[in-house]
Amino acid sequence: MLLELSIKDFAIIESLSIGFGPGLNIFTGSTGAGKSIIMDALALVLGDRASGDLIREGSDEAQVEALFDISGASGSGLDDLLAEAGYPASDELVIKRVVQRAGRNRVYINGGLSTLVTLTEVGRRLIDIYGQSEHQSLARSDEHVEVLDSFGDLSGLRSRMASAYREMAGARRDLEVLLNEARGGRDRKDFLSFQLEELSAAALKPGEEEELKSLRERLQSVGKLREAAEFAERAVYSDSGSITERLGAVARALKDVSSLDGRLKEAASRVEASLLELEDAGAFFRDYAAAIEADPEALEAASERLDLIGKLKKKYGGSVDEMLAKKEALEKELGFLENTDLKQAEIETRFNAAHAKAAGIAGELHSGRFEAAKVLKSRIEEELTNLGMKGALFEALVEEDRAQDGAPRLTEKGSDKVSFLIAANKGEGLKPLSKVASGGELSRIMLAIKSVISAGRVSTMVFDEIDTGVSGGIAQVVGLKLKEVSRANQVLCITHLPQVAAFADRHFAVSKETAGGRTTTRVREVSGEDRVDEISSMLGGLKVTETTKKHALELMGSAGRLARAGKALKKSS
């Protein structure tokens, strides 16, 4: 509920603060006094676009601030929205808009800076304005499904539908990602298979390259190796004066004298042992030289193998170990790609199940909406009759939105398109609400709809000259309907009709004053004799007479009796 609205330097308003109460809050005043400016200021604080033209002449900025009691707004989603935006839970909400002539536009929610997007979302959960502002929710066809679902108490089905749709959409996204990967994966699979086949055919082994290099170098040096072995064998063993021959003489000489001095015995043993080692070495050199020979085929094979490894290194990595790691990675990736078909089947199964579930809930929603539409039609046509539009027809058209293949087109809201159609006069064809030509008819149609579906939608409703084109007895009926709506919702209403003003719980008179060459809008709450005078002036123009006062009192008394009778009737029903 709106508790207070403060306006500063906005249009022709210098400074103004209005306190509101529950029930029906009526604004009256002559044309041009500033009533609609107050509604414009309220629309601004709810998220309407700001313009420097709104700033009062001579001021650098305009400010609009609104205080709301939101303790009863739990069903609107407002608490969740505020929590998501980072504002702590509270029973009160303060919104402030500051518009500067330099073009800066700031939004504050509970004292903290906010964005216009957040403000707009918050605003539409607080107040519904019917008039010239952009808050005419019932004029938007995309709101009709929300209105019908709220009226038909289909929130449980809507929640299930949203959950099922998210599940289905998630499976569809997973499937699309997989299919996109698969489309590029087929070529990649062929490429990876070729690489893996090439690496597998190479049969690489860890350390193989070093072994091959050593083998090739040895095979390339057979002559050197044989020459060195033969030279070593001769020098060590077979030549006259070889190392073993001379060392043998040393060993024999030491052996002959070692018995004379024990200290020579150990040295003699070491010489003898060395002689045996050298004799073995000489035998090895002889055998090695005899055995070693050129092997062109082995040399060619080693060279070819090294060439292959070199080519593969250029393509797949700087070493055999890196190529073996590459081969392992290829095997894993190919394994993943080869499982795509299986994964696709699994996701398709999940998608089909989720789609079937969502389609089933959409069908339940369609049935619920169809039944709710019939009741809504009856209720609104009854209200239209009471508002002097006997014979008017209303239709809440529920149509399944279908794709080209005939399947229902599913969304979070189901598969239906809902449109409110009206035939304002007998014999006319049904047409959208926005096509109603008469302002008086449109006013009454909107009031009839709101009187039926208002409960629980928003806490505050604003009617900016809802009575346009209405007069006489119908005006009193409109006033009574506004009074009925105000029992479930706070209502703010601008009116030029005394028959409507007579139903007010709080009555505000709006006037224009000129002082110091400047024009300023003033608002004062009127009650008692002042209220009688205000309604008298609405009845008789500028001149208030005893006759107009008497008429005003009669009108107020009649409004009170009608309101009490309506309340009693509603209680009894």
Which residues touch 225 (CB under 8 Å, ≥6 apart)? 218, 288, 292
d(CA 461, CA 442): 17
Return the pLDDT at 136. Answer: 54
Look at phi and psi of residue 89 and say left if phi exceeds 0, alpha if psi is from -120 to 50, else beta: beta
Nearest in space to 396 (alpha carbons), one of 226, 150, 568, 130: 150
DSSP three-state, residue 520: strand
The two tokens of residue 351 are: 């998608």
DSSP 8-state symbol, 136: -
The two tokens of residue 69 are: 């009691």
Return the pLDDT at 456. Answer: 55
Return the pLDDT at 187. Answer: 64
Alpha helices in 131-261 (DSSP H): 141-151, 155-202, 208-220, 222-233, 243-257
pLDDT tens, residue by residue, 116-161? 999 998 988 888 877 644 335 566 677 889 889 988 989 899 999 9
**Residue 111 is which amino acid?**
G
Mean pLDDT (whole number) for 98-111: 89
Tell me the sheet residues that pair with 394: 422
Question: Do 419 and 86 contact (CB within 8 A), yes or no?
Answer: no
Return the pLDDT at 416. Answer: 93
Residue with tokens 């998501």: 84
Percent of the chain with pLDDT over 90: 29
pLDDT at 546 > cutoff 70: yes
The torsion angle over the Cα atoms of residues 120, 5, 460 and 12, rounded to 10 degrees, is -80
| Residue 344 confidence class, pLDDT cut points 50, 70, 90 | confident
Question: Do 500 and 482 contact (CB within 8 A), yes or no?
Answer: yes
Ordered strands of the 460-464 beta sheet: 127-130, 460-464, 490-494, 24-28, 506-515, 518-526
Question: Do 100 and 93 contact (CB within 8 A), yes or no?
Answer: no
Which residues touch 285 (CB under 8 Å, ≥6 apart)? 229, 230, 232, 233, 236, 237
Return the pLDDT at 367. Answer: 95
Return the pLDDT at 380. Answer: 92
Question: Do 409 and 415 contact (CB within 8 A), yes or no?
Answer: yes
DSSP 8-state symbol, 530: H
DSSP three-state, residue 31: coil
pLDDT tens, residue by residue, 408-452? 899 999 999 999 998 888 888 898 877 775 666 777 787 888 778
Residue with tokens 């019932």: 138
Between 570 and 402, the more confident residue is 402
Between 107 and 254, the more confident residue is 107
pLDDT at 169 > cutoff 50: yes
Mean pLDDT (whole number) for 467-471: 70
d(CA 388, CA 381): 11
| Residue 167 confidence class, pLDDT cut points 50, 70, 90 | very high
Q: Which of 73-82, 191-200, 449-458 has the highest mean pLDDT?
A: 191-200
| Residue 279 confidence class, pLDDT cut points 50, 70, 90 | confident
* Widest distance between CA atoms in the chain: 167
Between 339 and 519, the more confident residue is 519
Question: Do 25 and 462 contact (CB within 8 A), yes or no?
Answer: no
**DSSP states of 75-109 as a string?**
GGTHHHHHHHTTPPP-SEEEEEEEEETTS-EEEEE
pLDDT at 548 > cutoff 50: yes
Q: Which residues of 371-380 are buried (b: 16+ CB within 10 A; e: fewer)?
A: ebbeebbebb
DSSP 8-state symbol, 545: -
Return the pLDDT at 377. Answer: 95
d(CA 31, CA 2): 25
| Residue 378 confidence class, pLDDT cut points 50, 70, 90 | very high
Mean pLDDT (whole number) for 30-40: 86
Mean pLDDT (whole number) for 171-177: 87
Return the pLDDT at 137. Answer: 56
By residue count, the chain amounts to 573
Q: Which of 165-179, 297-311, 554-568 has the highest mean pLDDT?
A: 165-179
pLDDT tens, residue by residue, 203-259? 888 888 788 777 777 777 777 888 888 888 888 888 887 888 888 888 888 888 887
State residue 517 phi and psi, 5-degree precision. 75, 10
